[in-house]
Structure 1
Amino acid sequence: MFKRKNLFKCLLAGLASLFLVSSILLNMEASAGSKGGTLTYGVKSKIESYDAHGANAYGVMHYIPQHYSTLVTFNWDNFPELKGDVAESWNVSKDGLTYTFKIRKGIKFHDGTPLTAKDVKATYDRLYNPPEGVRSARKNLFSSIGSIETPDDFTVVFKLKSVDGALLTGFGSPWNSIYSAKDIAKGPRWHAENINGTGPFRFVEHIQGKKWVAKRYEGYHFDDNYLDGTVGFAIKKIVNPMLGGQIMAEWRAAVPPVVKVLKEKMGDKVAFQTMPMLSFIMISLNTKFEPFKDKRVRHALTLCVDRYKGLPTLARLTWTAPQPAAALMPGSEFALPSNELEKLTGFGRDMAANRAKARALLKEAGHQNLKFKYSNRAVAHPYEQIAIFLIDQWKKCGVTVEQISSPTPKWVKMRRSGAFDVTIDFVSGFLPDPTVLLAKHVSKDRNPQNYSGYTDRKLDDLYEAQKKEPDPQKRKALIHEFIKHTTDLAWTIPMSFMNRTIALDKRVKGYKIAPSLVLNTDWRGVWIEE
C-alpha cells in the first residue's frame, strides 16, 4: 500500500520517444570483476565540505560515497529496487508507522571502530533533528520520523509520526552517509574536515584543486571493491584529459559537442552510456530584492522566457533536456499533462502575447526599466549556456541583467547566505518520487535549500499531505495543486530536466549509469580490464 515500485519504470517508458536510454553493454559485466588497477576520473567542481549531510554540490558525491556506507542502497540493474548495505534486512509494519532494520555484524569503520545500531541512530538523529551548528540539507525528507530506538546493538527501529511512502527508498540516498557516533560527538564541524566511514575505499589524501586519492579497504563488508584504488583529478574540460589518458571517465556528463569529438578521436577506445536525469534546473529569485516582492515582476520574468524554442537549441549545446518541465519529469506518473502545463504562467506557447503581458506587468509595477544581477556558477555546462540564453530572453522584455560568475565554493556560500538577486538553482534528485523532487519548494524554515527564502504554508501543507496520501489519484491531485501554486508564486522560474551521457575508457568495466549524477558513485563493482 505504501510502496510505489513502478514509478521509475513508468517514467522511462513515458520518455522513450524523447530520450535515448542506451549504453555500450560491454561496460556492464559486474559479475566478471577482477581485482587490481586504479580508476582515474575527472571532477570539474571544487567542494566546500566533506560532510555529505549538509552538502548539495555534485562534486561531493563524486568523492565522498566511496568512503561511506548507507543503511540500504539500490540495485542498479533494477533501480529503484533496494538492497541491503549496513542493514542486512528490514521490515515495515502493516500500518506503515514502524520500520525495523537488522544491522550486519562485523562491520568496522576505517579506524577500526565496530559499527553498531548506535551509529545508525546517531547518524539519523543528526539528519532529521540536527543539533545547533549542523546543516542537514535534506532534513524535511525525514520529517515523518518521530523517534529512533535501538533495542539491541544490531537493531534500529524508526517510529513514524505519519505514513510516508517515500521514506524506505529515501534511506538509500547516497547523501545519508553512516557516521560513527564517536565522531559525531567530536562536534558539528568534524565531518566537514575529516573522513571515517565503512565504505569500499579508504581516504588517503585530498590536495585541493589537484587530486583526491583513495585505496581499497581490505576490511569491507562486501567483496566487490575490486579496484586497488581511485584517483579523482580536478579538471576544467573532459576532452584533453581523456585523450591524453589522464582520466578514464568523468561522471557528471559529456555534452553533445564533446561526445562527437571523443567518438572521432578515440574510436573504439571509448564507450558511452546515456540516460535521462533526475536533476531539475530552475532560477531562484531572492525575496530580499525589493522589486521581486511584487508578484507581477516575478510573473514578468517567467513570461519572457521562450522555453519551447530555446530549450531544444540548448539541448544541442549542453545537457539540458529539450522540453520544459514544472518540477516533475514530463511523462512521469504525477507530472502535469502538457495541456495543463501550458496553462501555467510562463508555459504558454504564444510568445508575442507572453512578452506583451510581461512588459505590461513590469510597467504596471513601476519596474519597466528593471535591472538586476544574475549570480552564476563558474562552470561551463550547463551554467554558461543557460545564462546567455536567459539574459537574451529578459532583454527582449526590456530587462537589463549583469552576470556575475563565481567559483563553486563562493557560489555555494553566496546562495546559502542569500547574497544574490537572481541565481541558477537546481533539484539534484536521487529518486523519481515527488516527495524528493518537490522538497526544494517548501518554506525556508522547513528546507534550508530554499534559497529564495520565502515562506508559504499552503505549499508546506500540500507537501505533507501528498507525502501521507496512499491513494495514487488523490495524491496526484495534491501534487498538481502544489505545482500550480508554486508556479503561480513564481519565486522560482522552472526550466527543464537534464540528459546525461557519460564517456568511459573502454577498459572500465562493471559501471552502470544511474538517473542522477549523485547516484552509483562508490565504485563498487567497477574493475579495470587490462
Structure 2
Amino acid sequence: MAAPAHFDVHQSGTVANIGPQSPMYDTLLRRHPKDGQTIIPDLAWKWEISPDGKKYTFYLRKGVKFHDGADFTAEDVKATYERIARPPKGVVIPRTPLFATVGEIVVVDPHRIEFRMTEPRPKAYMLGAFASGWNIIVRKKTLEEHQGNLRQVMNYPGTGPFKHVSRKDKEIWVMERNPAYWNKGLPYVDRLEVYHMFPFSPELGSSFLSGKVDYARLLDPVSWRKAKEMPGVTAAAFNQSVIQAFWTNMEKNKALANPKVRRAIHLAMDRHALVEVVKDTAPMQVGGFVYPFHEMSTPRAELEKKLGYQKDVTPAVQEARRLMKEAGYGNGIKGLDFVVRDIATFKLWAVAIQAMLKEHINIETNLRVVQTSVWFDEAQAGNFDLAISAIVSTLMDPSDIFSAWYGKDGPQNYSRWTNPGFHDLAHQIEREVDDNRRKAMVRKAEDMLEQDPPLIPVAYEQIYDAWYNRVRGQNPSTYFGIYDVVRWDTVWMAQT
C-alpha cells in the first residue's frame, strides 16, 4: 500500500488509508471475510428494519472496549455517523451521500441505536452502507477533542483486532494482536506488518517475488504473471470498485461547460489503446459511466458497438470534430491546465490523452504532475482545467455511483457538473425497489451521461493479488473491491 497523505479513514478514498488502518477498527456490520459478500454482525450483534423501511435499529455488543480502555457505547456510533452523514465544515467524506435519507440518529440506551430515515431505500443498499469497511466506528471523545477532523491524528483508538505498535513514514505500519478483543479467538496472528509500497510498482513486485512479503495486494501484471507460475503461490484477480477518469472544470472554463465539447473529448478517446498503454503497469478494462461488469449496466459487447468504445475510433473522431465545430470550437482549444497524479498509470495515460486530444480535436494541454495529496487539494479547490485520477464507490450499486460521482455537489464530482434531468432520474432510481424497472432507468441514465459527460471515463481497474500458500484464510477472488474485507483478523500462517 502507498503511504497515506493523512490519517482520517472517513475522509479518505484510497487504499493507502484503509489498507494499513482498518485492522485497528470495527464497523457496525461487516462483509463476511469468506466471500466478501454476505453481511454479518460486527459491533452490532443484531439489527431490525421496520416494515416501512424507514427505521433501522442496531443492538450493540456489551463489554467492548476501545484500545485506550474506554467503553464502547451507542454514543460513539451516533458521533461517528453524525459526522459521516453531516460532516462538519471543512470535512469532506465520500460516503456522505449513502446516508442522505438519514434524518435522526437516536440513542435509545447505551447499547441500542436507531437510524430514522426521511424515506426508505433498498435494504441491500443501506445494509451495504453500514457494512462498508470505510465506516469505522471511532470514539465520540476523539472526535470532540479534534473538532471532528482526524487528518493529522495518526493513532486514534479503535475497537479492532489489532493495536498500533509503530509506524515509519512511507515504509511500514506495525500492529499487534489486541488481547482484549471482543471477538474471542480472533485475530489468529500475533503481529501484522503493512509495508508502504505504491500499487503496481516494481518495488512491490520484487518484494513479493523475492519472498520478503507474505501477501501482495495490487501487483503489476508482469509480476503477477510471474507469481502465478511460482510453486507454492496462489494468484487471484477480481474487479475493483474504482473508475479511472479525468474531469473537466466546468466552472473555470467556459468551453468545458459546453456538453458538446465534453462529449467531443469523450469521443476523442481511444479506450482500447489506453488499456494497452498501461498493460504491463496495471490491469485495466474498457468501460463507460457505470461499472462494465454490473448486471444493470450496458453489457460489454453492446457497449463496444457504441461511439467512444469501438476499436476503430474513426467514426467517433468524425463525430467529435462535428460537435466541436457545432459548439464554436472548430479550431480547437489551447493552453488547458492538465493536472496529473504522480502515479505511473496516470502519467502514461496523460501523455497518450494529450496526444489524442491534439490529433483528434486540436485541444492543446499542458501537463502538470503533482503528488497525490496535492492532486486532491487542487481538485477540491477547482485549480485545474483537466485533472486525471481515480475515484471509488462504496457499493456495487448504481445509486452510489450516481450520488457520489455524479450527484449535484457530490464529494467526488470534481467537474462541478449539474444536470437537473439526470439528478431527478437518479433520485427515482435510489427509491425504486423493483429490479427490472431500476435496470431500465439505469440504462436511461447511462444514455444521459453519454450526451452530457460529468467526467471522461478512461478505464476500470482490476486487482491482482498474490500470496504464498503458507497464508491461509484469505481468498479475495469473490470480493468486489478492496475496501470491505480489510481487517486480516481471520487470516493465519500455516507452519512449513
TM-score of the two chains, using structure 1 as the length reference = 0.85
Unaligned runs of 5+ in 1: 1-42
**1:515 matched to 2:475:** no
- Assess, with a 3 A threshold, how the Cα gap between structure 1 residues 314 and 518 changes in structure 2: closer, same or farther: farther
Q: Give the C-alpha shift of residue 314 in structure 1.
A: 4.6
Q: What is residue 390 of structure 2 aligned with on the other side?
A: 426
**1:82-128 Cα shifts (integer Å, max 9, x gaps):** 10110000111111111111101111000111101111111111111
Q: What is the RMSD computed on CA atoms of the aligned residues?
A: 2.3
Q: Give the C-alpha shift of residue 348 in structure 1.
A: 5.4
Q: Give the C-alpha shift of residue 141 in structure 1.
A: 0.8
Q: What is residue 182 of structure 2 aligned with on the other side?
A: 221
- Assess, with a 3 A threshold, how the Cα gap between structure 1 residues 144 and 343 changes in structure 2: closer, same or farther: farther
Is contact 1:108-1:115 (8 Å) kept? yes
Q: Give the C-alpha shift of residue 272 in structure 1.
A: 1.0
Q: What is residue 169 of structure 2 aligned with on the other side?
A: 208
Q: Give the C-alpha shift of residue 412 in structure 1.
A: 2.1
Specify the SS of the correspondent of 1:241.
Answer: helix
Specify the SS of the correspondent of 1:108.
Answer: coil
Q: What is residue 349 of structure 2 aligned with on the other side?
A: 386
Q: Give the C-alpha shift of residue 170 in structure 1.
A: 1.0
Aligned residues: 480
Q: Which of 366-375 and 226-235 deviates more?
A: 366-375
Q: What is residue 39 of structure 1 aligned with on the other side?
A: none
The amino acid that maps onto 1:239 is G
Query: Following superposition of structure 1 onto structure 2, how do residues 22-421 of structure 1 map, counting pairs within 5 Å?
Result: 43=1, 45-165=2-122, 166-186=125-145, 187-190=147-150, 192-194=152-154, 195-222=156-183, 223-236=185-198, 237-251=203-217, 253-263=218-228, 267-287=230-250, 288-307=252-271, 309-310=272-273, 313-314=276-277, 316-330=279-293, 332-337=294-299, 341=303, 346-347=308-309, 351-364=313-326, 365-366=328-329, 368-371=331-334, 372-380=336-344, 382-397=345-360, 398-421=362-385
Distance (whole Å) between structure 2 residues aligned to residue 232 and residue 142 of structure 1: 31
Specify the SS of the correspondent of 2:93.
Answer: coil
Specify the SS of the correspondent of 2:242.
Answer: strand
Q: Which of 94-103 and 476-485 deviates more?
A: 476-485
The amino acid that maps onto 1:167 is M
Distance (whole Å) between structure 1 residues aligned to residue 37 and residue 337 of structure 2: 40
Distance (whole Å) between structure 2 residues aligned to residue 428 and residue 98 of structure 1: 28
Q: What is residue 28 of structure 1 aligned with on the other side?
A: none
Specify the SS of the correspondent of 2:120.
Answer: coil
Q: Could you tell me which of 439, 462, 470 is aligned with 2:403?
A: 439
Is contact 2:286-2:292 (8 Å) kept? no
Is contact 1:55-1:137 (8 Å) kept? yes
- Assess, with a 3 A threshold, how the Cα gap between structure 1 residues 313 and 79 changes in structure 2: closer, same or farther: same
The amino acid that maps onto 1:67 is M
Q: Which of 451-460 and 363-372 deviates more?
A: 363-372
**1:468 matched to 2:431:** yes
Q: Which of 94-103 and 287-296 deviates more?
A: 287-296
Q: What is residue 31 of structure 1 aligned with on the other side?
A: none
Distance (whole Å) between structure 2 residues aligned to residue 128 and residue 389 of structure 1: 39
Is contact 1:427-1:440 (8 Å) kept? no
Q: Which of 384-393 and 217-226 deviates more?
A: 384-393
Unaligned runs of 5+ in 2: none
Is contact 1:270-1:506 (8 Å) kept? yes
The amino acid that maps onto 2:375 is W
Specify the SS of the correspondent of 2:285.
Answer: coil
Is contact 1:272-1:503 (8 Å) kept? yes
Specify the SS of the correspondent of 1:317.
Answer: coil
- Assess, with a 3 A threshold, how the Cα gap between structure 1 residues 241 and 520 changes in structure 2: closer, same or farther: same
**1:8-55 Cα shifts (integer Å, max 9, x gaps):** xxxxxxxxxxxxxxxxxxxxxxxxxxxxxxxxxxx2x23122111111
Query: Following superposition of structure 1 onto structure 2, how do residues 439-518 of structure 1 map, counting pairs within 5 Å?
Result: 439-445=403-409, 447-513=410-476, 514-518=479-483
- Assess, with a 3 A threshold, how the Cα gap between structure 1 residues 491 and 436 changes in structure 2: closer, same or farther: closer
Q: Which of 172-181 and 418-427 deviates more?
A: 418-427
Distance (whole Å) between structure 1 residues aligned to residue 303 and residue 205 of structure 2: 38
Is contact 1:148-1:156 (8 Å) kept? yes
- Assess, with a 3 A threshold, how the Cα gap between structure 1 residues 87 and 457 changes in structure 2: closer, same or farther: same
Distance (whole Å) between structure 1 residues aligned to residue 275 and residue 150 of structure 2: 45
Specify the SS of the correspondent of 2:160.
Answer: coil
TM-score of the two chains, using structure 2 as the length reference = 0.90
Q: Which of 86-95 and 336-345 deviates more?
A: 336-345
- Assess, with a 3 A threshold, how the Cα gap between structure 1 residues 191 and 385 changes in structure 2: closer, same or farther: closer
